[in-house]
Each structure stands twice: as structure tokens, then as C-alpha cells.
Amino acid sequence: MSAMQKVAWFNLAVVLLSLGAVLSLLPIVGTQRAQAGLAILGLFGLNPLFLRRKRGRAVFDERDTLIQRRSVIVAYTIFWVAMFGVSGLAALVYGLDGSVPVEVILVFPAYAAMVLLAAMSVATLVQYGWR
Amino acid sequence: MAGKRPNPLENRIRRLRFDHGEMTQQQLAERVGVTRQTIIALEAGKYAPSLLLAFRIARAFGVGVEDVFQYDDADREIAAG
């Protein structure tokens, strides 16, 4: 398994773990406090650990660069579709003359990052062949 | 809809590795500066290398690029119509 595959699996696990934490906290502490589960997303900061260079061995090469480039294109396409979808959903939920609560705006970037990273990870794993 | 086109670039990397003292994929990868996974993908015909990498691989075996990689002319004829 290449370093980039490990990064993709790790990021996907972090997204699922964070989402799981929010969903499991939801019935116990309520919607607002359950968002504390998003703190797990901070684990993304551990990504560089997978890219440490081993003696004389390349961890990243031209094939990985190509796969990453394609994954970014796929992820941004999905991201923008999701952004427009969420914008439309906001109009449905809050009404055209309604207002979006600040607490929703506060957690929105975290969920946007989740969509982006999950899409990028899945696109990466598909191109490597999942193994 | 047409199926996925086969890679028109064939290679003799596996053969050349064995002809060069049973060189391992890892040894070749280290020599040309890529990961072992890329060598595996190349040997399986799942990845077409850049020109630079193709030259590096050829130099690692001490042969010319066309001794390692062969372009399938039948594919070129189809493309030309």
C-alpha cells in the first residue's frame, strides 16, 4: 500500500469517525453540543506522518501526483455540486425570506471539509484499486 | 458505449529485471526514484510512464527506451482511422 493510499484511508476514517461522533452525541447532548464531535477532524493534521521519507525510498512519485490531480478534480466537482445542493436546501428549510442561524454557519466549513476530503479519499482509493 | 481501451504501451520490464540478476521491483524503484507500487502498475500495463521515467528505466537496464517499451502500432492505425 502506497503512502497516498494510507493517507486516503486515514482521512476517510477520520471523516467517518467524526460523523459518527456527532451522530452518537446528538440524542444525548443536543444538536449544538454534538458538534463537538467535529473536533476529531483535527486528526487530519497527522497526515504528514504517512509521508515521511524512508531511507533511499521514494514515498511519492509521478503516478501518485497524477492520481492526486485527478482526485482533486473529482473532489471539487462533488464539492461544488454539494455546495449548490446545500444552498438550495437552505432555501427549502429556512424559506426564501428566512435567515440561517449563526450556529449553522459556524459548523458549515467543517462539513464542507468533510465532503471535500471524503470525495478526494474515495477518488484516490478507486484509482489505486482499493488495496 | 465502447469499453475501456487497452494500454497501447507494452513493456519488458519484468523480463529485463530477471535478465539483470533477478533485480527486485524495490531495487528498480529505488534506482529510478519511484515507489514499488508504480513499478507493479507499469509491469501490469496499468500505467503509462512519463518520457523521463521511461528513459530512467531504460538507463537502469543499460538499454534504449524502445528495448523496454513498445508502442502497439495496431492501436495507432485505429486512431488514424
CB-nearest partner of B38 from A1, A56, A63: A63
CATH number at residue B68: 1.10.260.40
How far, in Å, CA of B26 to CA of A25, rounded? 47
Question: Is the pTM higher than 0.90?
Answer: no
Contact B30 A61 (CB under 8 A): no
In the numeric block, the cell 446528538 is attached to A26
Residue in B7, B27, B35 to test binding to A, most A beta-carbons within 10 Å: B35
Q: Which cell is A83 given?
A: 455546495
Q: What average pLDDT does the segment A73-77 reach?
A: 95
Q: Tell me if B4 is assigned to some domain.
A: no
Domain extent listing, chain A: 3-128
Task: Tell whether B28 is covered by a domain.
Answer: yes
Instruction: Tell me if B40 is assigned to some domain.
Output: yes
Average pLDDT for B21-35? 93
Q: Please, which residues have CB within 8 angstroms of residue B15's CB and are 6 or more apart in sequence? A: none
Higher per-residue confidence, B3 vs A63: A63
Q: Are A40 and A14 in contact (CB under 8 A)?
A: yes
Test B35 with A57 for CB contact under 8 angstroms: yes
Burial class (CB in 10 A: 0-12, 13-18, 19+), B8: middle
Provide residues of A within 8 Å CB-CB of chain B. Answer: 1-3, 56-64, 128
Q: How far apart are CA A96 and CA A87, in angstroms?
A: 11
pLDDT reported for residue B2: 44
For residue B76, pLDDT over 60 is answered with: no
Q: Which domain holds residue B18?
A: 9-80
Q: How far is CA A49 from the centre of its chain?
A: 18
Split into its structural domains, chain B has a count of 1
Split at pLDDT 50, 70, 90, the class of B74 is low
Q: Answer whether residue B37 is part of any domain.
A: yes
Q: What is the DSSP letter of B9?
A: E
Match 507494452 to its residue by C-alpha cell: B10
Can you point out the beta strands (E) in chain A? none
Query: Do the Cβ atoms of A115 and A43 come closer than 8 Å?
Result: no
Residue B1 lies in a domain: no
| Rounded CA separation A61/B35 (Å) | 7
Q: ipTM of this complex > 0.95?
A: no
Is the predicted pLDDT of residue B18 greater than 70, yes or no? yes
C-alpha separations of A38 from A24, A28, A117, B5, B54 in Å: 12, 16, 14, 43, 45
A62 vs B35: CB contact, 8 Å cut-off?
no
Q: CB–CB of A64 and B35 under 8 A?
A: yes
